[in-house]
Structure 1
Amino acid sequence: MSQAPRKQEADHTKDCDETIPVAESLASSGQVQEALDKLLTLEKLTRNSADLASTTRVLIAIISILHQHKQYDLLNTHITLLSKKHGQLRQATQKMVDEAMTYLDNLDGKPKLDLIETLRDVTEGKIYLEVPRARVTRMLATIREKEGDLAKANELMQDLQVETFGSMERREKVDFILEQMRLLKALEDWDKLGIVAKRINVKWLTEKEHEDLKLRYYSLMILWGLNAGKYLDVCKFYRQVYETPSIQDDEAKWSAVLRNIVYFVILAPYDNEQSDLLARVFKDEKLVKVTESYDLMKCFTAPELMRWPGIEGLYGASLRQTKVFGPTGVAGVAGDIEEDSKHSQGDKRYEVLHDRIIEHNIRTLSKYYTRMTITRLSQLLDLTPAKTEAFLSSLVSSKTVYAKIDRPAGIVSFQAPKSGDEVLNEWSSDVGKLMGLIEKSTHLIQKEYAVHAALKAQHGLKS
C-alpha cells in the first residue's frame, strides 16, 4: 500500500452511479457473483485512478451486498482481499472497515466471530486502523469472558496499548484502561492492576463530565489498596470519591464515604502524612453529622489514653457489622466496601485497629512520662509484658518513639539521650536565663534602695 498521498487522475462518479445500482439489482436476483465481478472491475479502475470517493463507494457496496445476502465467507474473504490490493487508498480501507464494524451488532455466533477475526487481521500493524482494531478486540474479549475464558479475555485486552493511540479520544482511552483493570481485578492480578492504573491521568478525572469514569477508577483502586493493605492509600481514594459533586449532593452517599475515610485513616500506620491527614479529616464540618465516626476519631486526635475494653464496648458492636471490621460473611452496611466473603479481611483489620490504639497509647505515654515500669505500662495498655515489649520494639524500629528497656530493673525509659551539642545548647540557654534573673534581681534591689533612700530623705526633711 502506498504511503504517500496520490493525486486523483480521474473522476469515476458517473461510472459508480451506473454500475452500483446494476450490481445491487443482480445480487437481488440471486446473481451475487456476477454483481461482485462488475464491482471488482470498477474497484480496480477507481483505485488505479486514485479516486477516493468512488473507491470508497465501491468497497462499501461490495461488502454491503455480501452482508445483505448473508454471504459471510465471501464477506470475510473480500474484506481481506480489498484491504491488501496494491495501491489501495487508506481512507477507503478505513471507511470499509468502519462499515463492516456496523454489521457486528446484527450478527451472532460463528459469523460474528469470523468477522471479528477478519477485521483484527486486516487492522493488525496499521496505525491508521488502530482504533477500529481496539474496538473489535474489546468485542472479542467480551465474548471470551461470557464463555468463561477470563484469561483469554484479559490477554486480548492487555495487548492493547491504547494510551499510545493518538487518534483515539481520551475518554475512550480511559474507558479501555478501566476495562483492562476490571479484568485484572477479576483475575486477582493486583500487581499488574497497580501498574496499569498509572496509565490514567487522575487530574483529568476531576472534571465534572468524567465523574462516571472517576468513580469506576477509584472503586477499582480501593479494592487494590484493600488487597495490598495500603490503608492510607485507600483513605486517599475515598477522599477523591468524597469530593465528587454527585457524592456531595447525596447525604447518604457522602456520609458512608466519610465513614470509610475515618476507618482507613485510623487504620493507617502512624507517620507525618497520616497525622496530617487525620487532622484534616477531623476538621471536616460534615463529620459531626456522622456521630459515631466523629466520636471514634476524636479519641485518636486527643492526647489521651484509650483503653481497648472501653473502645470495644462503645464501638465494637457497630464496627463488627461493617465489612471493614466484620467477620467473614457479614452483610455489611449501606455504602460499605465492595469486598466479597472470599477476600474478607475484616477480622484482620479489627486486630489492626487494636494495634493502632495500643500504638496511640504508647505515643501518648511517651509524652507524659520519662520512665515507667514495664508492669505499669502493661496495665495501662491492657497487654502482657511480652506483648508490650513487642509493640515498643516495633515503634522504636519505625522511629515513632524513643524507648529503652532496662530488663533487670523492669523499667522503660522514654527520655532520649542528648548529644553534646544539645547539652551545650541547653546549658547555654540555662546560663542565659540565670543571668537574666540575676540582672532582674539586681535591678529590683537597686530600686528598693532608691525607694528606701527617698523615704528616709522625706523623713529627715520633716524632722
Structure 2
Amino acid sequence: MWREGPARPGGVFPFFSHAAVLFASSALLQACFEARQWKLLNEHVILISKRRAQLKQAVAATVKEAIGYIDSTPDEDTKIELIKTLTSVTEGKIYLELERARLTRKLAAILEARGKIDEAAEALQEVAVETFGAMAKTEKIAFILEQVRLCLKKKDFIRAFILVKKVTPRAFSEKRLVSDGKQDGEKKEMAMDGTTAAPPDEGIPSLEELKLVYYEHLIAYYTHTNDALEICRCYQNIYDTPSIKGDTSKWTEVLKKVCWYVVLAPSGPMQSSILHMVHGDENLAKLPLYERLLRIFVKNDIVQWTDVQDQFGVEMMEQDSIFLGKVAENRDTFKLRVVDHNILVISNYYSQITLPRLADILKIDVEEAEKYLSDLVLKKTVKAKINRPQGIINFGAKPKPEEVLSQWSGNIGKLLELLEKSCHKIHKEAQQHKVLVPSMRQ
C-alpha cells in the first residue's frame, strides 16, 4: 500500500497509490457519517481538499460522497453547514463546477424557504453556469431561469432582464446529440467541448417546459414595463409550442391573450404584421367574438367606442389578468387604441378637416380629440399639422424643398408635352382644311 520516501528532517513520508488514497478518503468520511459527527465530517472534507499534492480524483470523490450525505443530515442548520463547506471546497475547481452549481441551488432553495429571498438570489448569481462546459443544456437553462425567478420575486427587474437575455429562443431547439461510442448505443447530449454532457439533475424539466417558464418570466418583466407588444410576442411563442397547440383548452386561453395584447399594443409596422397574422389564424374562426375584435382593427372603418364596449365589455371582465387589478389601466388603453384606429382611418380619407368635425366623428370632446391627435403626431404614427386659431387639421407631412422642386419640374414637363401635342394637332387640321392660322402666315 505504501513505500518509504526519501529521508527528510520531519521523518519518513508514506507514498500511497491512487486507489489507496481514494479508499482512505472514503473510509474516513464513512466513519464520520456513521458516527454522526457532522462537524468532524466538515473538517475532514476541508482537510482532504487542502492536503498538499492531493489528487484531483481524491477531492472529486470526497465531494461526491459528501454530497450523498446531505439528505441524511439531522436538521436544516447542519445541512446548510455541510453545503457551505462543500461549496467552499469546490470553488475555483473546474472539474467540480457541476457539483458546485447543484450545491448552490440546494442552498438557495433552503434560504428561499426561510424567507431570505435576497440571500438566495445573491447565492445563485455567484455561479455563472453559462460558462460550464460539462453541464447539460437543459440544466443550464433551468439554473438561469431560477436566477431570473428569484430576481423577479425580489422586484429586481433590471437584473432579471439581464439574466433572462443569457438564454436565447434558439436554445429551445433540439439538443445536439453525440454517440456514446457503443454500437447501436443511445445518443446523449453534447457538451460545449464536443464531449458527452453530464445527465441533468433530478427534477430538471424538459426543454419545452423550460420554454414556457422562460416566456412566463419575460411576460412578468414586460408587464412591469407595460410593453403590450412584447407581451403579445411572448404569448405568440407560447401559442406555437406543440404541447399548447395540442390542447384545445390551453391554446384557447393563450390565443385570447394574444388577441387582446395585439389590440392593446401601439400602432406600428410590427403590430400591424402580428395583427394580420393572428387574424389569418385558422383557430381564430373557432372564437367568433375575438375574430370580430380583430376585424375592427384590420378594416379601415370607423367604429364607435360605445359599440365596442357593448360588444366586448363582458369578455373584458372575464379577462381579469389583463383588465383588473394592477393592470386596470388597460381598459383606458383599449379605448385609446379604438380612438387611435379611428384617427388613422380619418387620416387616410381626409387631407384636411376641422377639429370640431373630427371630434364629432370620434364622438368625443374637441379637447380630447386634439390631445389624442397630438399624441399620435408625437409618436410619429400620424403626420399632421394643427392650425389652432382656425381649428383646421392638415394631414400629411410638409414636403421637402427637393420634393417640391421635383414635382414642379415634372408638372412643367407634362405641360410642355401637352402644348407640343396640341400645336401638332392644330397644324394638322389647318393643313387638311387649307386654313392659315396666324402662326403659319409669312
Fold match by TM threshold 0.5: yes
Deviation for aligned residue 1:416 = 3.1
> For residue 223 of structure 2, what is the amino acid of its counterpart?
L
Deviation for aligned residue 1:430 = 4.5
Instruction: Determine if the alignment matches structure 1 residue 182 to structure 2 residue 149.
Output: yes
Instruction: Determine if the alignment matches structure 1 residue 264 to structure 2 residue 261.
Output: yes
Question: Alpha-carbon deviations, 1:209-242, whole Å to 9, x = none?
Answer: 5101111111111111111111111111111111
> For residue 60 of structure 2, what is the amino acid of its counterpart?
Q
Gapped regions of structure 1 (runs ≥ 5): 1-11, 14-43, 329-343, 453-463
Deviation for aligned residue 1:410 = 1.6
Deviation for aligned residue 1:317 = 1.6
More helix by share: 1
Counterpart residue number, 1:125: 92
User: Which of the residues 274, 284, 294 maps onto 2:271?
Assistant: 274
State the secondary structure of the residue aligned to 1:191.
Answer: helix
State the secondary structure of the residue aligned to 1:320.
Answer: helix
1:5-24 alignment runs, 5 A limit: 12=1
Counterpart residue number, 2:139: 172
Deviation for aligned residue 1:162 = 1.3
Counterpart residue number, 2:355: 374
Cα 1:437–1:294 change in 2 (3 A) is farther
Taking the aligned partners of 2:173 and 2:294, their CA distance within structure 1 comes to 28
Question: Alpha-carbon deviations, 1:45-97, whole Å to 9, x = none?
Answer: 4xx34x33332222112111211221212211111111111111012111110
User: Which of the residues 68, 83, 93 maps onto 1:116?
Assistant: 83
Deviation for aligned residue 1:435 = 6.9
- Rg bigger for which structure? 1
Cα 1:441–1:288 change in 2 (3 A) is farther
Instruction: Determine if the alignment matches structure 1 residue 203 to structure 2 residue 200.
Output: no
Deviation for aligned residue 1:431 = 5.4
> For residue 66 of structure 2, what is the amino acid of its counterpart?
A
Taking the aligned partners of 1:107 and 1:88, their CA distance within structure 2 comes to 27
Counterpart residue number, 2:201: none
Question: Alpha-carbon deviations, 1:261-298, whole Å to 9, x = none?
Answer: 11111111122222222222222222222222111011
Deviation for aligned residue 1:113 = 2.0
> For residue 72 of structure 2, what is the amino acid of its counterpart?
N
- Confirm or deny: 8 A CA contact 1:206 1:214 kept in the other structure: no
State the secondary structure of the residue aligned to 2:320.
Answer: coil
Cα 1:445–1:298 change in 2 (3 A) is farther
1:395-414 alignment runs, 5 A limit: 395-414=376-395
Deviation for aligned residue 1:254 = 1.3
User: Which of the residues 231, 234, 238 maps onto 2:231?
Assistant: 234
Deviation for aligned residue 1:414 = 1.2
- Confirm or deny: 8 A CA contact 1:324 1:349 kept in the other structure: no
Deviation for aligned residue 1:201 = 2.7
> For residue 91 of structure 1, what is the amino acid of its counterpart?
Q
> For residue 278 of structure 1, what is the amino acid of its counterpart?
L
- Confirm or deny: 8 A CA contact 2:384 2:394 kept in the other structure: yes
Taking the aligned partners of 1:245 and 1:291, their CA distance within structure 2 comes to 23
State the secondary structure of the residue aligned to 2:283.
Answer: helix
Counterpart residue number, 2:46: 80
Instruction: Determine if the alignment matches structure 1 residue 89 to structure 2 residue 89.
Output: no
Taking the aligned partners of 1:179 and 1:195, their CA distance within structure 2 comes to 13
Instruction: Determine if the alignment matches structure 1 residue 147 to structure 2 residue 114.
Output: yes
Taking the aligned partners of 2:427 and 2:287, their CA distance within structure 1 comes to 64
Taking the aligned partners of 1:309 and 1:167, their CA distance within structure 2 comes to 60
Deviates more, 1:162-171 or 1:148-157: 162-171
State the secondary structure of the residue aligned to 1:412.
Answer: strand
Taking the aligned partners of 1:273 and 1:326, their CA distance within structure 2 comes to 23
Counterpart residue number, 1:291: 288
> For residue 234 of structure 2, what is the amino acid of its counterpart?
F
Counterpart residue number, 2:307: 310
Deviation for aligned residue 1:128 = 2.4
Counterpart residue number, 2:36: 70
Counterpart residue number, 1:384: 365
Counterpart residue number, 1:243: 240
Question: Alpha-carbon deviations, 1:157-181, whole Å to 9, x = none?
Answer: 1111111222322221111111111
> For residue 360 of structure 2, what is the amino acid of its counterpart?
Q
Instruction: Determine if the alignment matches structure 1 residue 321 to structure 2 residue 302.
Output: no
State the secondary structure of the residue aligned to 2:323.
Answer: coil
> For residue 252 of structure 2, what is the amino acid of its counterpart?
S
Taking the aligned partners of 1:67 and 1:445, their CA distance within structure 2 comes to 117
State the secondary structure of the residue aligned to 1:404.
Answer: strand
Question: Alpha-carbon deviations, 1:228-260, whole Å to 9, x = none?
Answer: 111111111111111111111112211211111
Cα 1:108–1:288 change in 2 (3 A) is farther
State the secondary structure of the residue aligned to 1:413.
Answer: strand
Instruction: Determine if the alignment matches structure 1 residue 254 to structure 2 residue 254.
Output: no
State the secondary structure of the residue aligned to 2:92.
Answer: coil
Taking the aligned partners of 1:241 and 1:443, their CA distance within structure 2 comes to 70
Deviation for aligned residue 1:417 = 2.8
Taking the aligned partners of 1:446 and 1:246, their CA distance within structure 2 comes to 80
Cα 1:439–1:106 change in 2 (3 A) is farther
- Confirm or deny: 8 A CA contact 1:371 1:415 kept in the other structure: no
Deviation for aligned residue 1:438 = 7.5
Gapped regions of structure 2 (runs ≥ 5): 3-12, 176-205, 434-442
Deviates more, 1:423-432 or 1:185-194: 423-432
Cα 1:205–1:409 change in 2 (3 A) is same
Aligned residues: percent identity? 38
Cα 1:205–1:440 change in 2 (3 A) is farther
Cα 1:254–1:441 change in 2 (3 A) is farther
